[in-house]
Amino acid sequence: MKNVLLMNSIADSGIEQFDYTRYHLSTDEEDPDLILVRSASLHDREVNPSLKAIGRAGAGVNNIPVEALAEKGVVVFNTPGANANGVKELAIAALLLSARDIYDGIKWVNSLEPSPEVAKRVEKEKARFAGIELAGKTLGVIGLGAIGGMVANTALELGMKVIGYDPFMSVEAAWKLSSNVKKASGFDEIYRRSDFISIHVPSTKDTKGMLSAAAFAQMKDGVRLINLARGDLVKTADLKEAMENGRIARYVTDFPDADTINHPGIVAIPHLGASTNESEENCARMAARQLIDYVENGNIKNSVNYPTVVLDRGSCTRIGVMHHNRPGVISGISTAVASHGFNIEHMVSGNKNDMGYMIVDVHGDIPASLIEDIDAIDGVIRALVFKG
């Protein structure tokens, strides 16, 4: 029986993936094998020795100490694409909110005193909230993954011209992107040509604060900026200065903070990107399935701290080894397996930055002494046996 800790409110579609005869699910498990989480912070949580993996029902993992967990051999999964449609739809709404002064117009209407003169006053003063249309304007999309690609394709259907840039775009994402999305040569071309800019990249040491004074200086006057990705991608002080000098006409963000609420020209949405019933169900289901496939078969897919390594499961016993990416580790594992009289039936490995993962299939029961020998190899972080 494996113990699963459920943090936050996990959608039923995720909980239903677990076989209750093999998994015990609880919201207060103190010694979990697996954790299924949404937004709860795990940075101050002590890592128990039995913890093998964490499934984040969502894309962002800022609430999880990813690198520290990798060093302990704990695999962290996220669910890229599971909430993409929900975020895409909000991004289209954000485009409209940035183009038409709908937000301030509604606030003004609701501030009026009810009277027979309301309709006349609205007709007289509606010009205060006039905007522009999307059709014929150029949208620059930064990041063409699951969400950015969908935003780009949908904007084309709205009559926009779309240019995009993503130096790390996957082959799968490229196949899904319309051929009518023009590929920009870099960020500077996006800044220079776009009437609207929508950003869809994760928050990393390289992307934090990427939209700063230097970027704003390259943009057209009156550009509209959409940020449903992460709040810290934008330097707010620089943004406000760019709004004051007319460079940025409107900023729509899904990450309100003390610097962005109640500010003219900023529309702050209360982090609703993935807040749809469908997104929550999709994310929970995907996260649960990835945890189950890992803990039963040793397969890793959509991990943020270990490489993707997947091998079809047969009748063999499976060993999974998390290790640092350095010379001699893989040969050392193979030697250890052979020294215990096992022939390797199947083997596959992969690396992600400094982290590596290896699957080894053999016939027969694995003695504890073999796992101890593998654990003792320099560079090995953790070895586990997956019995299915």
CA distance 76 to 68: 11
The full 3-state SS of the chain, as one line of letters, equals CEEEEECCCCCHHHHCCCCCCCEEEECCCCCCCEEEECCCCCCCCCCCCCCCEEEECCCCCCCCCHHHHHCCCCEEECCCCCCHHHHHHHHHHHHHHHHCCHHHHHHHHHHCCCCCCHHHHHHHHHHHHCCCCCCCCEEEEECCCHHHHHHHHHHHHCCCEEEEECCCCCHHHHHHCCCCCEECCCHHHHHHHCCEEEECCCCCCCCCCCECHHHHCCCCCCEEEEECCCHHHECHHHHHHHHHCCCEEEEEECCCCCCCCCCCCEEECCCCCCCCHHHHHHHHHHHHHHHHHHHHHCCECCECCCCCECCCCCCCEEEEEEEECCCCHHHHHHHHHHHCCCCCCEEEEEEECCEEEEEEEECCCCCHHHHHHHHCCCCEEEEEEECC
CA distance 265 to 165: 26
Q: What value does the CA radius of gyration of the chain take, rounded to a whole number of Å? A: 25
Which domains, ranges and CATH numbers included, belong to the chain? 1-83+274-305 (3.40.50.720), 84-265 (3.40.50.720), 306-388 (3.30.70.260)
Closest residue by Cα to residue 361 from 382, 322, 334 = 334
- Inter-CA distances, 320 with 140, 209, 348, 354, Å: 43, 38, 10, 17
CA distance 101 to 108: 11
Closest residue by Cα to residue 309 from 297, 325, 317, 326 = 297
CA distance 253 to 263: 12
> What integer best gives the mean pLDDT of the chain?
95
Residues 41, 63 contacting (CB under 8 angstroms):
yes
Residue type for position 284? A
Give the pLDDT confidence score for residue 173 in this predicted structure. Answer: 86
Residue 183: CB atoms within 10 A of its CB come to: 13
Residues 90, 269 contacting (CB under 8 angstroms):
yes
Residues in the chain: 388
pTM: 0.80
What are the pLDDT digits (tens) for 209-254? 999 999 999 999 999 999 999 999 999 999 999 999 999 999 999 9
* Strand pairing class (182-183; 196-199): unpaired
Q: 199, exposed or middle or buried, with CB in 10 Å at 0-12, 13-18, 19+? A: buried
Expressed in angstroms, the distance from the first to the final Cα of the chain is 12
Residues 328, 378 contacting (CB under 8 angstroms):
yes
What are the pLDDT digits (tens) for 92-122? 999 999 999 999 999 999 999 999 999 999 9
Q: What is the pLDDT along the chain (388 residues), one digit of tens a residue?
A: 999 999 988 999 999 999 999 999 999 999 999 999 998 999 999 999 999 999 999 888 889 999 999 999 999 999 988 999 999 999 999 999 999 999 999 999 999 999 999 999 999 999 999 999 999 999 999 999 999 999 999 999 999 999 999 998 888 888 999 999 999 999 999 999 999 999 999 888 899 999 999 999 999 999 999 999 999 999 999 999 999 999 999 999 999 999 999 999 999 999 999 889 999 999 999 999 999 999 999 999 999 999 999 999 888 999 999 999 999 999 999 999 999 999 999 999 999 989 999 999 999 999 999 999 999 999 999 999 997 6
Locus of tokens 């001699």? 328
CA distance 208 to 66: 17
